[in-house]
Amino acid sequence: MVVLAEPAARGPARFPGGPPGPTVGCMLTSPVNRPRTVALRVVVALFLAAGLLGLNVVLLFPLIGWLPAATLVQLGYPAEDTHHLVHGAGIGVGYSALLLCVAVQLRRPAQRVAPLWLGAFLLAGQILFDLVRWSIDDPIWFVPYGLYAAMVLLHPRRSARITAVHRPALLLAVAGAVPLAVYGVLQLRQQFGPVDPTGHVDANHYYGMAAAAGVTIVAALLGSTDLPGRLLTAWIAGVAAVLLGVSSIAHPGLASAWPTGWAVAAVAWGGTYVALAHRSRTATGRRRAPAAAPTAGTAD
């Protein structure tokens, strides 16, 4: 019989042979830069204020996109604008995801790397779209561009290594990315095609739908990794797919609506992906759980 002795030290490990002092973890942790943290929160607050003021109505579309057009007209929605409902839902999903990725940077930004990357993807796509058209509809767009660039510069953790992926979630993300990418390309072809009488091209609605598809793809891929903040991007991917699918089911005849079969599949994909993302988080947590300290007892 071998007796396992109780460990003498219960506290953090310290350098052997020296007096009690700071732990290795504390010595490797950078001190908090208070002015930089305050500046980051000010920039985030300004971005959110500008976004909420400029997009207030657009942000409501994902919440009402599933309602029948007749019901919305009875509630006061203009009847002549009901052909924009699917586009409104898609564009609202993209902008809502952007504001959410910014809002979470107010608290523990070092743990929000994946949302930071997703927001950067959204704005980078918008900037590229403006450059391709060689025009900016309104110079006010320089405000969010500049604020986001300042937020990235002030961020305490702009990058992080991807050390692991959850294979089931990644496979499902890739499977969903294929039809979403095809859909996005088709929407961009319509955006850069001839002007239609409904005004969708002039209002950049097709680009907005392509951006929503891109957001869903990138958010799902980020949610399949171990990046800090990945669970939020996983939720964004799943909820975006569900909202766009439901909107297409409610308004199957409108421009950019998904075919009913694909819309139903998108709803199922979104729910399944979020469930897998939560499962991968639990599994990762179990793998990273520290081993329990040995206790007094006997062993053969």
* Helices assigned H by DSSP within the chain: 24-28, 34-55, 61-64, 69-74, 85-103, 113-133, 142-154, 167-191, 205-223, 230-250, 260-288
Residue 33's contacts (CB-CB under 8 Å, 6 or more residues apart) are 156
**How confident is the model over 41-87, as pLDDT tens digits?**
999 999 999 988 888 788 888 888 788 888 888 888 888 778 888 99
Task: Answer yes or no: are the C-beta atoms of 132 and 117 closer than 8 Å.
Answer: no
| Whether pLDDT at 219 is above 80 | yes
Nearest to 237, CA basis, from 204, 277, 186: 277
Which tokens go with 253? 């005849």
Distance CA 117, CA 114 (A): 5
Distance CA 221, CA 297 (A): 47
Distance CA 91, CA 211 (A): 8
How confident is residue 137, by pLDDT bands cut at 50, 70 and 90? low
Q: What are phi and psi of 137, to 5 degrees?
A: -55, -40
| Whether pLDDT at 224 is above 90 | yes
State the average pLDDT over residues 265-272.
Answer: 96
Which DSSP state fits 82? G
| Whether pLDDT at 142 is above 70 | yes
H/E stretch holding 2:
strand 2-4
Which DSSP state fits 4? E
Residue 293's contacts (CB-CB under 8 Å, 6 or more residues apart) are 7
Query: How many Cβ atoms are within 10 Å of 290's Cβ, its own excluded?
Result: 5
DSSP character string of 272-284: HHHHHHHHHHHHH
**Residue 109 C-alpha from the chain's centroid:** 14
User: Is the overall model pTM greater than 0.75, yes or no?
Assistant: yes
Which tokens go with 29? 């942790």
Among the ranges given (99-108, 171-180, 202-211), the one the predictor scored with the smallest mean pLDDT: 202-211
Task: Answer yes or no: are the C-beta atoms of 158 and 116 closer than 8 Å.
Answer: yes
**How confident is the model over 102-119, as pLDDT tens digits?**
999 999 999 999 999 999
**The pLDDT value given to residue 14:** 39
